Amino acid sequence: MKSWSESKPLAANAEAPAPDIWVRLRALRSPEGRIIDFECVDSSPGRVRQGVLGLLPRAGQRLLDESPWAGECSLFDTCVRVAERQVPEMERFSRTTPAGITWVQARLAPGEGGLTLFLEDFTQRTTSEGALRRDRDLLQAVIESTTDAVFVKDLMGRYVLLNTAASRAFGRPVEEILGRTDSELMGPQAAAPTVAHDRTVFESGQTATYEDSDGGPGFGAIWQSIKGVLRQPDGTVYGLFGISRDITQRRRQEEDREQEGRFRERFIGVLGHDLGNPLAAIRFSSAALLARETLTPEVRRMLQRIDNSAERMARLVRQLLDFTRARMAGGIPLRPSDVALDEVCRRVIGELELAHKDREVHLEVRGECHGFWDEERMAQVLSNLVANALQNSPAGTPVSVRLEGVESLQRVEVHNAGAPIPEPLRPHLFEPFHPSGSSATRLARGGLGLGLYIVAQIVQAHGGRVEVSSTVETGTSFVILLPRSVPVSAGTVEEAQARMEPDCARQGNAASS
C-alpha cells in the first residue's frame, strides 16, 4: 500500500547516484497497443535482494506477477508513463513490511521498447531527515515562543536568522532585516556599540554578557545580551548568536527603589537632626527643675520620668544620625586620637552598671590596649555591645568583656550566656532595623534595631572587622579586631571643630540596640 509518493521529471543528462539495484524492463502491450505489464530483460548482477528490493522480477519474469505492490503504489503507472512519453522521472514511495516501513526512491530512465528502473533504499536517510525536521521545528517553536530576542549573524554582521521578538525590537518585519547589518538598520553611529560588542566576541571566541542600552537589537530599550560564536565541526567560526532580554522595566524599578531609599534615608537624617534641639531643651529644663530642693516626691518622680524618656529619645536620635552618616555621607566620621581602650571600657561598664544594678560585667585586660582611635566612637561600640549582651542574657548571669593585644591588632570580646541568637536572624545581625534578639525583647526596650549596624559601621571605619559566634553550649560572643591606628582609606576623619552635635547627644555613652 502506497503511503506517499512524489514524481518529477529527471533530466536526461543527469548523473544519478549509484542505486542499490536496477532492472531493465520491456513493455508488454495488448492487441490495442496499451501497456498491460513489463517483462524483466536484465537486472543488476551480484546483488543480494532484500526487503522491497528483493520483490522485483528476475529475467523473464513479469513485473505485476512477481511484484504486485508496484501496482498498489503507482510505480507501475509511472513506468507506463515513462515508457510512453520517453521522459525520465523520479518517484519516492513507502511500503509496510514485517520489518517496518521501508522508503524507496525509484529513478526511471526511458529506453527502446521500455525503460530501466533504478531502486534505492533510503529508509535510514528518511528517518534521519524526519528527526532533523522535528528537531528543527521544535527549536523554531521554542525560539518563536520566547519573549527574548534571538538572532544569528554571519561573519559580515548580516542577520541570517531572528525571531519575532527581535523583529519587534527593530520595528520591522523579518524580511526587511534578514541580510542587512546593524549599521544599515540603525545607522553607523547608533550601531557602533553593538558592532564593538560583536567584534570583541568574534576576536575572543568567548561567550560574553552585556547589560546596557546599546548591546541588543533595535532602539529604546535596556538589554541584557548573551553573545557567542558559532563554529563548524572543525572549529572554524562562521557566525555569531545572540539572546537579548529587555530589562528596561526592571532597571526602572530598581532606580525607583534606590531613589525611594535615598529619600527615606534623607528624611530620617533630617528628622534626627531636627529632633536634637527640642530634646536638648527638654533635658536642660528637666535637669534645672530636678536641681530644685523644694520639689515634692511626686513631682520629682514625674520629672525623673521625663528626663529618662528624653535621654532614651536622645539615644535614638543619635542612632538615626549615625545611620544617615553611614549611608549617605560616605561613612561614619572619625576624630582619632591616642586612646587607652581599657579606661574607656571601665567608664562604659560603670555607666551601664548604674542602669542595670542587678547585673555584673566582668572586665579582663591582657597586653597592650592603646591605639589611635576615635574615643567617643569606641565608647559607643562598647556601650552597644555590652548593653546588647545585658538585654539578651538571663537575669543573674554575668557579662564578660575581654581586651587583648594581639601583635598589631587589638582584640575585643563581649560574651554573654543564655539562648543563642535565632538562626533566621544571624545573616541580618549587622543590617539596619534588624533586632539582635527576639521581637518581644526589642519592643520591650524600644530599640530601632540600629545598634549592631552602627557597631559594624564604626569598626569598619576604623579598618577593623566584627565577628559573632552563638551556640547553646558556649553562649554568644561578639569579637572585634582593630588595627592600632585608623587606616587612611578606612573611614572619614574630620577635625574636632567641624563636629557639632546637640548637647543632648553628648550626655552619656550608653546606647541600646
HEC readout, 356-419: CCCCCEEEEEECCCEEEECHHHHHHHHHHHHHHHHHCCCCCCCEEEEEEEECCEEEEEEEECCC
pLDDT along the chain (513 residues), means of 10: 42 44 91 93 68 71 87 89 93 75 86 90 72 72 84 91 87 89 87 88 89 61 85 88 83 71 58 63 79 85 79 67 60 83 91 83 92 88 90 90 90 92 84 58 50 85 91 92 74 42 38 37
* Radius of gyration from C-alpha coordinates of the chain: 45
Distance in angstroms (rounded) separating the CA atoms of residues 335 and 428: 29
pTM above 0.95, yes or no: no
Report which residue type is found at 360. E
The DSSP 8-state label assigned to residue 36 in this structure reads E
Residue in the structure block whose three cell numbers are 507501475: 76
Residue in the structure block whose three cell numbers are 557639632: 500
Q: With CA atoms as reference, report the closest residue to 460 among 492, 505, 415.
A: 492
pLDDT for 483: 92
Residue 108, classed as helix, strand or coil, is strand
Distance in angstroms (rounded) separating the CA atoms of residues 242 and 247: 15
Q: With CA atoms as reference, report the closest residue to 421 among 382, 479, 478, 476.
A: 476
Distance in angstroms (rounded) separating the CA atoms of residues 238 and 229: 8
Q: With CA atoms as reference, report the closest residue to 58 among 70, 73, 41, 71.
A: 41
Q: What is the tens place of the pLDDT at every residue in 451-463?
A: 788 888 889 888 9
Q: With CA atoms as reference, report the closest residue to 385 among 289, 506, 480, 319.
A: 480
pLDDT for 431: 79
Distance in angstroms (rounded) separating the CA atoms of residues 317 and 323: 10
In this structure, are residues 53 and 119 in contact, taking their beta carbons and an 8 Å threshold?
Answer: yes
Q: What kind and span of H or E run contains 21?
A: strand 21-29
Report which residue type is found at 53. L
In this structure, are residues 243 and 225 in contact, taking their beta carbons and an 8 Å threshold?
Answer: yes
Strand-pair category, 399-406 with 361-366: parallel
Distance in angstroms (rounded) separating the CA atoms of residues 367 and 375: 19
Strand-pair category, 5-9 with 208-212: unpaired
